[in-house]
Amino acid sequence: MLGREVRAPVDLMYGTPTEQAPSSYDEYSDEMTDRMKQAFTLVRNHLHTAATRTKKYYDLRVRPLKYKVGDWVYFFSPRNYPGRQDKWRRKFSGPYLVIKTLGPVNVLLQKSPRSKPFSVHIDKVKIFETDHPPKSWLVEGPMNNEESDTDEVNHEANERQPEEVDIFGSGWPLVEKYKTPRPKRQIRKPTRFQD
């Protein structure tokens, strides 16, 4: 590592190993370059072997989870409070409804029909297990505007539901419009300053 043999206490007992000094600067430079390349190759091979071994053991036990539309999940969202112990904090919030899967590792979650959906990685999500899950606000299938005699039940269900908007353009999971006009808060003086 240092380009020379390090003198250690054992050298005092047994003496330093005899080495031939390089005859010229060019020879020393070439020898040093070869030594550095050898050391780099050894370290790289060792790290590669360790990483491969770790990945192999990890892959033996990992079971990737697949979430589908309509699943209720918890979302990992820890918050740091100054002066509070991390040990007793609640690390998961929810339950959230999976309203869309965005590829193999991302899902779109929504807390309530009026809340804004957000995208998360499936590593930050765990399944919400309960005997009585909350009621879902997603529609069962794609909307069909054509009226038919056999589809009267679905037609009545569509009439009872509030206005829905397809915010993703997919045609499948329709979500209630989450940008509804809400009454604004009245701003007034505190009661102690009112006359």
Domain boundaries, the chain: 11-61, 72-176
Q: Is the pLDDT of residue 117 over 80?
A: yes
Whether residue 70 contacts residue 98, with contact meaning beta carbons closer than 8 Å, is answered with yes
pLDDT reading at 149 higher than 60: no
**Which residues fall within 8 angstroms of residue 11, CB to CB, at 6 or more apart?**
none
Q: Residue 77 in contact with residue 109, Cβ under 8 Å?
A: no
Query: For the chain, what's the residue count?
Result: 195
Q: Are 109 and 75 in contact (CB under 8 A)?
A: yes
Asked whether the whole model's pTM tops 0.75, one would answer no
152 pLDDT higher than 50: no
Count of beta carbons in the 10 Å neighbourhood of residue 13: 7
pLDDT band at 155 (very low <50, low <70, confident <90, very high): very low
Residue 1 makes CB contacts below 8 A (sequence gap 6+) with: 39
